[in-house]
Amino acid sequence: MIPELEGVTGSLLKLALDAAVLTQRVAADNIANAQSPNFALGRVSFEHQLAAVRATLAGGGRVDAGMLRGIAPLVERSAPSGAPNHVGQLDMEAALLGENSVRYQALLKAWSKHHSLLALAIGEGKH
């Protein structure tokens, strides 16, 4: 879709969807390598990058595309411990996968509604 047409809402939804996809991949990678002695657990860093956006919205301000530049989900890895990860870590990863799946489904619904509104506006309310 044309970025100018999507606006900030579409851009934020895309970033959040990208973060959810990356979170799923990283958690699956953590589970697959749980018994590897020198594996460094990964976590997706995204939420804290939105602090300025949240503060602007909380203060009643407007968010523009410029505020979103440089925001992207990133993978951060912990230092390898040298020992296989504890079984409790597998439970945490499985819980993260479940939570992330629910978040992803909610984001997809929001994405669909956003695009439905755009289609309605483009069609001047006609189906």
Structure confidence by residue, pLDDT tens digits, 56-71: 889 999 888 888 888 9
> pLDDT for 110-122, tens place per residue?
999 988 888 888 8
d(CA 2, CA 20): 22
Calculate the alpha carbon distances from 50 to 46, 57, 73, 81, 97 in Å: 7, 11, 10, 30, 22
Residue 26, pLDDT above cutoff 90? yes
Which among 81, 76, 96, 89 has a CA at the least distance from the CA of 34? 89
* Reduced DSSP (H G I as helix, E B as strand, rest coil) percent helix, strand, coil of the chain, to 5: 65, 5, 30
